Structure 1
Amino acid sequence: MDYWIIEIFTSIQGEGEIIGTPSNFIRLARCNLRCLWCDTTYSWEKGIKMGVDEIVSHIRNEIRMTTITGGEPLLQNLIPLASRLKAEGQRIAVETNGTIKPSDELRKTVDVFSVSPKLRNSGHRINYGEMDWATYFKFVILNKEDLKEVKDFVEEHGIDPGKVIVQPDGRREDYIESLRQLSSDVMDLGLPFRVLPQLHRIISVR
Protein backbone atom coordinates (compact mmCIF):
# COMPACT_ATOMS: atom_id res chain seq x y z
CA MET A 1 0.00 0.00 0.00
CA ASP A 2 1.16 3.55 -0.76
CA TYR A 3 1.05 6.56 1.57
CA TRP A 4 1.28 10.29 0.95
CA ILE A 5 4.33 11.40 2.94
CA ILE A 6 5.60 14.87 3.85
CA GLU A 7 8.82 13.89 5.63
CA ILE A 8 10.58 11.15 7.59
CA PHE A 9 13.16 12.02 10.24
CA THR A 10 14.53 11.04 13.65
CA SER A 11 14.57 13.33 16.68
CA ILE A 12 13.60 13.64 20.33
CA GLN A 13 9.85 13.49 20.93
CA GLY A 14 8.98 17.04 21.86
CA GLU A 15 5.45 16.74 23.23
CA GLY A 16 3.06 14.89 25.46
CA GLU A 17 3.45 11.99 27.83
CA ILE A 18 6.39 10.53 25.90
CA ILE A 19 8.31 13.82 25.79
CA GLY A 20 12.07 13.38 25.63
CA THR A 21 11.96 9.92 24.03
CA PRO A 22 14.09 9.35 20.91
CA SER A 23 11.73 8.59 18.03
CA ASN A 24 11.50 8.14 14.31
CA PHE A 25 8.86 10.43 12.81
CA ILE A 26 6.70 9.74 9.78
CA ARG A 27 4.72 12.84 8.85
CA LEU A 28 1.78 12.02 6.61
CA ALA A 29 0.26 14.52 4.21
CA ARG A 30 -3.16 16.19 4.36
CA CYS A 31 -5.37 17.37 7.20
CA ASN A 32 -9.12 17.66 7.61
CA LEU A 33 -8.75 20.85 9.70
CA ARG A 34 -7.07 24.21 9.15
CA CYS A 35 -6.28 25.43 12.67
CA LEU A 36 -5.44 29.12 12.97
CA TRP A 37 -2.30 28.46 15.03
CA CYS A 38 -1.08 25.38 13.13
CA ASP A 39 2.73 25.16 13.15
CA THR A 40 2.93 22.49 10.44
CA THR A 41 0.87 24.03 7.66
CA TYR A 42 3.26 22.47 5.14
CA SER A 43 1.68 19.11 6.06
CA TRP A 44 -1.53 20.26 4.37
CA GLU A 45 0.19 19.72 1.01
CA LYS A 46 -0.09 16.60 -1.14
CA GLY A 47 3.34 15.18 -0.29
CA ILE A 48 5.04 12.34 -2.15
CA LYS A 49 3.79 8.77 -2.59
CA MET A 50 5.82 6.06 -0.85
CA GLY A 51 5.24 2.36 -0.26
CA VAL A 52 5.66 0.64 3.09
CA ASP A 53 9.06 -0.88 2.17
CA GLU A 54 10.44 2.51 1.16
CA ILE A 55 9.10 4.17 4.30
CA VAL A 56 10.61 1.52 6.56
CA SER A 57 13.97 1.83 4.77
CA HIS A 58 14.20 5.40 6.12
CA ILE A 59 13.61 4.31 9.72
CA ARG A 60 16.53 4.03 12.14
CA ASN A 61 15.71 0.67 13.67
CA GLU A 62 18.03 1.14 16.66
CA ILE A 63 15.55 3.84 17.72
CA ARG A 64 12.74 1.69 19.06
CA MET A 65 9.85 4.14 18.79
CA THR A 66 8.16 5.54 15.69
CA THR A 67 5.68 8.42 15.79
CA ILE A 68 3.16 8.68 12.95
CA THR A 69 1.98 12.27 12.72
CA GLY A 70 0.60 14.80 10.28
CA GLY A 71 -1.43 16.60 9.18
CA GLU A 72 -4.06 14.12 10.26
CA PRO A 73 -2.62 10.61 9.87
CA LEU A 74 -5.94 8.81 10.35
CA LEU A 75 -7.09 10.14 6.97
CA GLN A 76 -4.96 7.30 5.54
CA ASN A 77 -5.27 3.59 6.32
CA LEU A 78 -2.51 3.09 8.88
CA ILE A 79 -2.97 -0.63 9.46
CA PRO A 80 -0.45 -1.92 6.84
CA LEU A 81 2.19 0.60 7.93
CA ALA A 82 1.62 0.12 11.65
CA SER A 83 1.64 -3.67 11.30
CA ARG A 84 4.96 -3.56 9.45
CA LEU A 85 6.51 -1.22 12.02
CA LYS A 86 5.33 -3.51 14.82
CA ALA A 87 6.89 -6.50 13.02
CA GLU A 88 10.14 -4.51 12.92
CA GLY A 89 10.02 -4.26 16.72
CA GLN A 90 8.89 -0.63 16.86
CA ARG A 91 6.75 0.91 19.58
CA ILE A 92 4.20 3.07 17.75
CA ALA A 93 2.67 6.43 18.66
CA VAL A 94 0.01 8.13 16.54
CA GLU A 95 -0.62 11.88 16.89
CA THR A 96 -4.16 12.78 15.88
CA ASN A 97 -6.71 15.57 16.26
CA GLY A 98 -9.28 13.05 17.47
CA THR A 99 -11.92 13.71 14.80
CA ILE A 100 -11.47 10.24 13.23
CA LYS A 101 -11.95 7.21 15.48
CA PRO A 102 -9.35 4.46 14.90
CA SER A 103 -10.51 0.96 14.08
CA ASP A 104 -10.32 -1.80 16.68
CA GLU A 105 -7.53 -3.44 14.65
CA LEU A 106 -5.45 -0.28 14.68
CA ARG A 107 -6.06 0.20 18.39
CA LYS A 108 -4.57 -3.26 19.01
CA THR A 109 -1.44 -2.38 17.01
CA VAL A 110 -0.69 1.18 18.14
CA ASP A 111 0.85 1.64 21.60
CA VAL A 112 0.11 5.34 22.13
CA PHE A 113 -2.65 7.57 20.78
CA SER A 114 -1.74 11.20 21.44
CA VAL A 115 -4.99 13.09 20.90
CA SER A 116 -5.17 16.87 20.47
CA PRO A 117 -8.82 18.00 20.49
CA LYS A 118 -9.28 21.49 19.08
CA LEU A 119 -10.66 24.32 21.16
CA ARG A 120 -12.49 27.35 19.75
CA ASN A 121 -9.11 29.12 19.50
CA SER A 122 -8.33 26.84 16.53
CA GLY A 123 -11.15 28.36 14.50
CA HIS A 124 -13.21 25.18 14.73
CA ARG A 125 -16.15 24.00 16.83
CA ILE A 126 -16.17 20.21 16.77
CA ASN A 127 -18.60 17.82 18.41
CA TYR A 128 -16.34 15.02 19.55
CA GLY A 129 -17.80 11.59 20.21
CA GLU A 130 -16.55 8.81 22.46
CA MET A 131 -12.88 9.34 23.35
CA ASP A 132 -11.95 6.32 25.50
CA TRP A 133 -9.35 5.17 22.95
CA ALA A 134 -6.99 8.08 23.67
CA THR A 135 -3.85 7.37 25.70
CA TYR A 136 -3.63 11.05 26.67
CA PHE A 137 -4.87 14.45 25.53
CA LYS A 138 -2.93 17.60 24.57
CA PHE A 139 -4.50 21.05 24.34
CA VAL A 140 -2.96 24.23 22.91
CA ILE A 141 -3.72 27.13 25.26
CA LEU A 142 -3.69 30.77 24.17
CA ASN A 143 -5.29 32.35 27.24
CA LYS A 144 -6.96 31.67 30.57
CA GLU A 145 -10.40 31.26 29.00
CA ASP A 146 -9.06 28.30 27.01
CA LEU A 147 -8.29 26.51 30.27
CA LYS A 148 -11.92 26.89 31.36
CA GLU A 149 -12.96 25.39 28.02
CA VAL A 150 -10.63 22.44 28.60
CA LYS A 151 -12.14 21.93 32.05
CA ASP A 152 -15.64 21.83 30.51
CA PHE A 153 -14.48 19.47 27.76
CA VAL A 154 -12.90 17.07 30.26
CA GLU A 155 -16.01 17.02 32.41
CA GLU A 156 -18.36 16.61 29.43
CA HIS A 157 -16.44 13.60 28.09
CA GLY A 158 -15.67 12.00 31.45
CA ILE A 159 -11.91 12.20 30.86
CA ASP A 160 -9.47 11.36 33.62
CA PRO A 161 -7.74 14.72 34.37
CA GLY A 162 -4.50 12.79 34.82
CA LYS A 163 -4.53 12.18 31.06
CA VAL A 164 -4.69 15.90 30.23
CA ILE A 165 -1.67 17.96 29.16
CA VAL A 166 -1.81 21.67 28.39
CA GLN A 167 0.84 23.58 26.48
CA PRO A 168 1.27 27.15 25.23
CA ASP A 169 1.12 28.30 21.63
CA GLY A 170 4.42 27.20 20.10
CA ARG A 171 4.54 30.16 17.71
CA ARG A 172 5.10 32.73 20.45
CA GLU A 173 8.50 34.41 20.42
CA ASP A 174 8.36 34.72 24.21
CA TYR A 175 7.82 30.99 24.57
CA ILE A 176 9.37 30.59 28.01
CA GLU A 177 7.29 33.46 29.36
CA SER A 178 4.14 31.91 27.88
CA LEU A 179 5.01 28.66 29.66
CA ARG A 180 5.36 30.55 32.94
CA GLN A 181 2.03 32.29 32.40
CA LEU A 182 0.26 29.04 31.59
CA SER A 183 1.66 27.42 34.72
CA SER A 184 0.48 30.37 36.79
CA ASP A 185 -3.03 30.24 35.25
CA VAL A 186 -3.35 26.50 35.92
CA MET A 187 -2.42 27.05 39.56
CA ASP A 188 -4.69 30.08 39.87
CA LEU A 189 -7.69 28.12 38.60
CA GLY A 190 -6.85 25.08 40.73
CA LEU A 191 -6.80 22.72 37.75
CA PRO A 192 -5.29 19.20 37.96
CA PHE A 193 -3.80 19.27 34.45
CA ARG A 194 -0.13 18.78 33.60
CA VAL A 195 1.72 21.73 32.05
CA LEU A 196 4.40 20.60 29.62
CA PRO A 197 6.48 22.47 27.03
CA GLN A 198 7.05 21.60 23.43
CA LEU A 199 10.64 20.51 23.96
CA HIS A 200 11.59 21.21 20.35
CA ARG A 201 10.80 24.89 20.95
CA ILE A 202 13.59 24.96 23.54
CA ILE A 203 16.22 22.62 22.04
CA SER A 204 17.04 21.62 18.49
CA VAL A 205 18.31 18.07 18.03
CA ARG A 206 16.99 17.21 14.58
Structure 2
Amino acid sequence: MKNSLWVNEIFDSIDGEGKTAGQLASFIRLKGCNLRCAYCDTTYAFHEGYLMEAETIASKVSYPDITITGGEPLCQDLHGLLELLQDHSINIETNGSMDITPYFRYAGVWFTIDYKSLSSGMSNHMLLHNFRCLRPQDVLKFVVGTKDDLEQARFVCDTYRPGCPVYVGAVFGAISPGEIVEFMKEYELTDWHLQLQLHKFIWAPEARGV
Protein backbone atom coordinates (compact mmCIF):
# COMPACT_ATOMS: atom_id res chain seq x y z
CA MET A 1 0.00 0.00 0.00
CA LYS A 2 1.32 3.45 -0.91
CA ASN A 3 2.16 5.73 2.02
CA SER A 4 1.60 2.96 4.57
CA LEU A 5 3.70 1.69 7.45
CA TRP A 6 3.92 -1.48 9.48
CA VAL A 7 2.83 -0.49 13.01
CA ASN A 8 3.26 -2.45 16.22
CA GLU A 9 1.32 -0.16 18.58
CA ILE A 10 0.19 3.43 19.11
CA PHE A 11 -0.35 4.74 22.64
CA ASP A 12 -0.12 7.80 24.89
CA SER A 13 2.19 7.97 27.89
CA ILE A 14 5.14 9.92 29.27
CA ASP A 15 8.57 9.82 27.69
CA GLY A 16 10.46 7.44 29.93
CA GLU A 17 13.96 8.70 29.20
CA GLY A 18 16.01 11.36 27.45
CA LYS A 19 15.64 15.12 27.33
CA THR A 20 11.82 15.02 27.41
CA ALA A 21 11.58 12.43 30.22
CA GLY A 22 8.40 12.82 32.23
CA GLN A 23 6.53 14.77 29.54
CA LEU A 24 3.38 13.50 27.84
CA ALA A 25 3.82 12.20 24.31
CA SER A 26 2.05 10.07 21.74
CA PHE A 27 4.07 6.99 20.81
CA ILE A 28 4.12 5.34 17.41
CA ARG A 29 5.98 2.04 17.67
CA LEU A 30 6.78 0.59 14.26
CA LYS A 31 7.24 -3.07 13.47
CA GLY A 32 10.58 -4.60 12.52
CA CYS A 33 14.25 -4.16 13.38
CA ASN A 34 17.50 -4.86 11.58
CA LEU A 35 19.47 -5.52 14.79
CA ARG A 36 19.20 -8.10 17.56
CA CYS A 37 20.60 -6.54 20.73
CA ALA A 38 21.27 -8.96 23.57
CA TYR A 39 19.35 -6.80 26.07
CA CYS A 40 16.43 -5.78 23.80
CA ASP A 41 13.21 -5.19 25.76
CA THR A 42 10.90 -4.84 22.74
CA THR A 43 11.45 -8.11 20.89
CA TYR A 44 7.69 -8.32 20.36
CA ALA A 45 8.05 -5.50 17.83
CA PHE A 46 10.23 -7.63 15.57
CA HIS A 47 7.29 -9.51 14.09
CA GLU A 48 3.99 -8.28 15.58
CA GLY A 49 2.15 -5.57 13.67
CA TYR A 50 -0.28 -4.48 11.00
CA LEU A 51 -0.15 -2.29 7.90
CA MET A 52 -1.69 1.13 8.44
CA GLU A 53 -2.05 4.15 6.16
CA ALA A 54 -0.07 7.22 7.21
CA GLU A 55 -3.25 9.30 7.39
CA THR A 56 -4.77 6.85 9.87
CA ILE A 57 -1.62 6.85 12.00
CA ALA A 58 -1.60 10.65 12.09
CA SER A 59 -5.26 10.72 13.14
CA LYS A 60 -4.48 8.70 16.28
CA VAL A 61 -1.96 11.20 17.66
CA SER A 62 -3.15 13.00 20.81
CA TYR A 63 -0.31 15.32 21.83
CA PRO A 64 1.98 17.93 20.25
CA ASP A 65 5.01 15.76 21.15
CA ILE A 66 5.43 12.46 19.34
CA THR A 67 7.98 9.68 19.77
CA ILE A 68 8.45 7.35 16.81
CA THR A 69 10.21 4.21 17.96
CA GLY A 70 10.46 0.49 17.26
CA GLY A 71 11.94 -1.89 16.57
CA GLU A 72 13.88 0.36 14.26
CA PRO A 73 11.67 3.02 12.66
CA LEU A 74 14.16 3.92 9.93
CA CYS A 75 13.77 0.47 8.39
CA GLN A 76 10.66 2.02 6.80
CA ASP A 77 10.19 5.19 4.75
CA LEU A 78 8.86 7.82 7.16
CA HIS A 79 8.57 10.75 4.75
CA GLY A 80 4.84 10.37 4.11
CA LEU A 81 4.02 10.28 7.82
CA LEU A 82 6.33 13.17 8.68
CA GLU A 83 4.77 15.33 5.98
CA LEU A 84 1.45 14.90 7.78
CA LEU A 85 2.88 15.74 11.21
CA GLN A 86 4.88 18.88 10.48
CA ASP A 87 3.12 20.88 13.21
CA HIS A 88 4.43 18.46 15.89
CA SER A 89 7.73 17.96 17.68
CA ILE A 90 8.87 14.47 16.71
CA ASN A 91 11.54 12.43 18.47
CA ILE A 92 12.72 9.55 16.30
CA GLU A 93 14.42 6.89 18.42
CA THR A 94 16.89 5.04 16.21
CA ASN A 95 19.55 2.39 16.77
CA GLY A 96 22.49 4.10 15.09
CA SER A 97 22.76 1.76 12.11
CA MET A 98 20.54 3.69 9.64
CA ASP A 99 21.23 7.04 7.95
CA ILE A 100 19.43 9.83 9.80
CA THR A 101 20.33 12.71 7.47
CA PRO A 102 17.48 12.33 4.91
CA TYR A 103 15.08 13.46 7.66
CA PHE A 104 16.96 16.61 8.65
CA ARG A 105 14.75 18.60 6.27
CA TYR A 106 11.82 18.43 8.69
CA ALA A 107 12.04 21.33 11.14
CA GLY A 108 10.21 19.57 13.97
CA VAL A 109 12.11 16.28 13.77
CA TRP A 110 14.98 15.44 16.12
CA PHE A 111 16.76 12.18 16.85
CA THR A 112 17.62 10.13 19.88
CA ILE A 113 20.34 7.95 18.44
CA ASP A 114 21.52 4.91 20.40
CA TYR A 115 25.19 3.96 20.06
CA LYS A 116 25.04 0.23 20.68
CA SER A 117 27.27 -0.92 23.51
CA LEU A 118 29.68 -3.83 23.45
CA SER A 119 27.31 -5.92 25.58
CA SER A 120 24.55 -5.46 22.99
CA GLY A 121 26.57 -7.52 20.50
CA MET A 122 25.70 -4.96 17.80
CA SER A 123 28.48 -2.35 18.07
CA ASN A 124 29.93 -3.30 14.70
CA HIS A 125 26.67 -2.29 13.00
CA MET A 126 26.95 1.40 13.86
CA LEU A 127 26.88 3.84 10.92
CA LEU A 128 29.67 6.12 12.10
CA HIS A 129 28.68 8.93 9.73
CA ASN A 130 25.59 9.49 11.90
CA PHE A 131 27.64 10.44 14.93
CA ARG A 132 29.51 13.15 13.05
CA CYS A 133 26.20 14.70 11.93
CA LEU A 134 24.39 15.13 15.23
CA ARG A 135 22.83 18.57 15.74
CA PRO A 136 22.23 20.51 18.97
CA GLN A 137 18.57 19.39 19.07
CA ASP A 138 19.48 15.69 18.83
CA VAL A 139 20.49 13.29 21.62
CA LEU A 140 23.30 10.72 21.75
CA LYS A 141 22.29 7.85 23.98
CA PHE A 142 24.22 4.96 25.51
CA VAL A 143 22.66 1.99 27.27
CA VAL A 144 25.38 0.32 29.32
CA GLY A 145 25.55 -2.96 31.16
CA THR A 146 29.23 -3.20 32.11
CA LYS A 147 32.31 -1.12 32.90
CA ASP A 148 33.57 -1.92 29.39
CA ASP A 149 30.39 -0.36 27.98
CA LEU A 150 31.09 2.80 29.96
CA GLU A 151 34.67 2.93 28.67
CA GLN A 152 33.36 2.50 25.14
CA ALA A 153 30.89 5.37 25.61
CA ARG A 154 33.68 7.63 26.85
CA PHE A 155 35.83 6.68 23.85
CA VAL A 156 33.00 7.40 21.40
CA CYS A 157 32.38 10.83 22.96
CA ASP A 158 36.09 11.66 22.88
CA THR A 159 36.31 10.56 19.25
CA TYR A 160 33.21 12.20 17.77
CA ARG A 161 32.76 15.18 20.09
CA PRO A 162 28.98 15.19 19.58
CA GLY A 163 27.41 18.61 19.38
CA CYS A 164 24.34 17.46 21.29
CA PRO A 165 23.38 16.26 24.79
CA VAL A 166 24.71 12.85 25.88
CA TYR A 167 22.50 10.56 27.95
CA VAL A 168 23.70 7.36 29.63
CA GLY A 169 21.43 4.75 31.16
CA ALA A 170 21.70 1.24 32.55
CA VAL A 171 20.62 -2.02 31.00
CA PHE A 172 17.76 -2.70 33.40
CA GLY A 173 19.03 -4.93 36.20
CA ALA A 174 22.57 -5.29 34.79
CA ILE A 175 24.43 -2.35 36.32
CA SER A 176 23.45 0.06 39.07
CA PRO A 177 22.90 3.76 38.31
CA GLY A 178 25.31 4.44 41.15
CA GLU A 179 28.13 2.75 39.21
CA ILE A 180 27.46 5.09 36.29
CA VAL A 181 27.59 8.10 38.60
CA GLU A 182 30.93 6.96 40.04
CA PHE A 183 32.32 6.56 36.52
CA MET A 184 31.12 10.05 35.61
CA LYS A 185 32.83 11.45 38.71
CA GLU A 186 36.06 9.53 38.04
CA TYR A 187 36.44 11.07 34.59
CA GLU A 188 34.68 14.39 35.31
CA LEU A 189 32.09 13.78 32.61
CA THR A 190 30.20 16.96 33.33
CA ASP A 191 28.45 16.91 29.95
CA TRP A 192 26.85 13.49 30.50
CA HIS A 193 23.30 13.06 31.79
CA LEU A 194 22.39 9.97 33.79
CA GLN A 195 18.97 8.71 32.71
CA LEU A 196 16.61 6.25 34.34
CA GLN A 197 13.83 4.48 32.45
CA LEU A 198 10.94 6.06 34.33
CA HIS A 199 8.31 3.80 32.76
CA LYS A 200 10.00 0.73 34.25
CA PHE A 201 9.71 2.22 37.73
CA ILE A 202 6.12 3.43 37.33
CA TRP A 203 4.80 0.25 35.66
CA ALA A 204 6.00 -3.34 35.49
CA PRO A 205 9.31 -3.50 33.53
CA GLU A 206 7.76 -5.80 30.92
CA ALA A 207 4.53 -3.78 30.48
CA ARG A 208 3.58 -2.74 26.94
CA GLY A 209 1.85 0.41 25.81
CA VAL A 210 3.10 2.56 28.65
Q: TM-score range by the shorter chain?
A: 0.7 to 0.9
Q: Establish whether residue 64 from structure 1 lines up as the match of residue 45 from structure 2.
A: no
Identity of aligned residues (%): 32
Q: Establish whether residue 180 from structure 1 lines up as the match of residue 178 from structure 2.
A: yes
Q: Of 26, 29, 48, which residue of structure 2 is paired with 1:27?
A: 29
Residues 4 and 46, structure 1, Cα contact 8 Å, conserved in 2: no
TM-score by length of 2: 0.86
Partner of 1:93: 91
Q: Relative to structure 1, is the Cα distance of residues 19 and 77 closer, same or farther in structure 2, using a 3 angstrom cutoff?
A: same
Structure 2 CA distance for aligned equivalents of residues 182 and 166 of structure 1: 8
Q: Of 45, 50, 53, which residue of structure 2 is paired with 1:51?
A: 53
TM-score by length of 1: 0.87
Deviation larger for 184-193 or 76-85: 184-193
Q: Relative to structure 1, is the Cα distance of residues 23 and 183 closer, same or farther in structure 2, using a 3 angstrom cutoff?
A: same
Structure 1 CA distance for aligned equivalents of residues 128 and 121 of structure 2: 19
Q: Relative to structure 1, is the Cα distance of residues 191 and 107 closer, same or farther in structure 2, using a 3 angstrom cutoff?
A: same
Partner of 1:203: 202
Partner of 1:126: 125
Partner of 1:108: 105
Q: Relative to structure 1, is the Cα distance of residues 150 and 203 closer, same or farther in structure 2, using a 3 angstrom cutoff?
A: same
Deviations 1:109-132 (A, max 9, x none): 143200001021101223532221
Specify the code of the residue in structure 2 equivalent to 1:159. P
Aligned-pair distance for 1:71? 0.6
Calculate the aligned-residue CA RMSD, in Å: 1.9
Specify the code of the residue in structure 2 equivalent to 1:11. S
Structure 2 CA distance for aligned equivalents of residues 190 and 83 of structure 1: 42
Q: Establish whether residue 148 from structure 1 lines up as the match of residue 135 from structure 2.
A: no
Q: Of 127, 137, 142, which residue of structure 2 is paired with 1:139?
A: 142
Unaligned ranges ≥5, structure 1: none
Structure 2 CA distance for aligned equivalents of residues 127 and 72 of structure 1: 13
Aligned-pair distance for 1:144? 1.9
Unaligned ranges ≥5, structure 2: 204-208
